[in-house]
Amino acid sequence: MVEYPEIDRYSSLDSVMHRFDPRAKLIAFLILIFSIVLLQDLKLAFIGLLGAILFLIASKLPLRFVLQHIKWVCFFIVPFILIMPFSVHGTGIFHFHGLTLTYEGLEYGILVAVRALAAVIIVLPMIATTRFDITIKALGELKMPNMLVQMFMFTYRYIFVFVIEFQRTWRAMVARGFQMKTNLYALRTIGKALGTFFIRSYERGDRVYQALRARGYTVKPKTLVEFKMRASDYVWTVVIIGFAVSLHVVPFVEVT
């Protein structure tokens, strides 16, 4: 019914990406993602995608895991690729019941798809190679406001509690003969079950707050972390950011 987030399932493997300092990793790859999504040239986008794949390979994440995590984007991109070639004006390649498939449309569609794919691929070496709680701490080290960091921590933790809780409720409903169909009865039942679920979550929120207070909670303190940049971290940071920048600068230099 609902699935578990398991993005850091393979964070205990060993690879250059796993050893990369989480703060530098976040910064460098974020810059790369922004750089790639802003590319306008199909050739450069392909080079970006190639780079992304190389970083992914360097992270040694299993293929099955990778495919599972990029399939959603692929679904999302399909309508764009199917519709855009017909809606963009330009040189027609193919006519079909009054619709014209254009070269420009096809090119734009592919550009969008390649950028999207490259970006989502980079997310994997960026996020899946570090335990997610450490990623959140890295965000804190990078000066994200402490309130938000704490909200990420607590939310992340309680997602698991609630997935398990909701799975149990769902099983109890099925065990009493409930079947999910798209009719009014089923929807209203889901509504009521969700209502109960939210009430319980709200009450849990109260109890969590009490428990936090009992341990002297104030919004201020941070978690205990020790990040240390090593020489190799600097090298990787320079390589990735250099690649990101050159995607935009090199073609410009060539032209002039």
Partner 1 sequence: MREAITVRDLSYKYPDGTKALEDVNMEVHEGERIAIVGPNGAGKTTLMLHLNGTFRCMEGEVELFGKTVSKLKRAEIVKEIGMVFQDPDDQLFMPTLFDDIAFGPINQGLKGDEVRERVDKAIMSLGLSGYEDRAPHRLSFGEKKKASLAAVMAMEPRILVLDEPTANLDPYSRTELIGILNELNDREGITMVIATHDVNAIPELADRIYALNRRIIETGTPREIFFDGELLKQNKLDVPDVFKLFDVMRCFGFNCDKLPLSLDEAVSGLTRVIETAGGHIHLHIHEHTHDEVKKWREKYEHH
Partner 2 sequence: MVHISDGILSLPVLAAGWAITIALIAVALWWSKRRGNVEEEIPKLSVMTAAFFVASLIHIPVGPTCVHFMLNGLVGVILGILAYPAIFIGLVLQAVLFQHGGITTIGVNTVNMGVGALIAFAIFRVGSMYGSLVVRKELSAWIFGALAGGVAVFLTVIFTAVSLILTSREAFFAVAITLMLAHIPIMIIEAIVTGSIVVFLLKVKPELIGGLGDDNK
Residues that bind partner 1 (CB under 8 A): 4, 6, 9, 131-133, 136, 153-154, 156-158, 160-161, 164-165, 168-169, 171-179, 189, 192-193, 195-197, 199-200, 203-204, 207-208, 210-218, 221-224, 226
Q: Please identify, using beta-carbon distances, which residue of 87 and 232 lies nearer to partner 2.
A: 87
Q: Select from 240, 25, 254, 217 the least CA-distant residue to 128.
A: 25
Which residues are registered as beta bridge partners of 101? Answer: 94
Q: Are 233 and 241 in contact (CB under 8 A)?
A: no
Q: Helices in 128-183 by DSSP H: which ranges?
A: 132-141, 146-175
**Which entry of partner 2, partner 1, none binds 89, CB below 5 to 8 A by partner kind?**
partner 2
- Residue 145 CB, nearest approach to partner 2 (Å): 8
Percent of residues in the chain assigned helix, strand, coil, to nearest 5:
70, 5, 25
State how beta strands 92-96 and 99-102 pair.
Answer: antiparallel
Among 14-22, 108-116, 226-234, 236-244, which window interacts with partner 2 (CB under 8 A)? 108-116
For tokens 């990029």, name the residue.
70
x/- map, 212-251, partner 2, by CB under 8 A? xx---xxx--------------------------------
CB of 217 to partner 2, least distance (A): 7
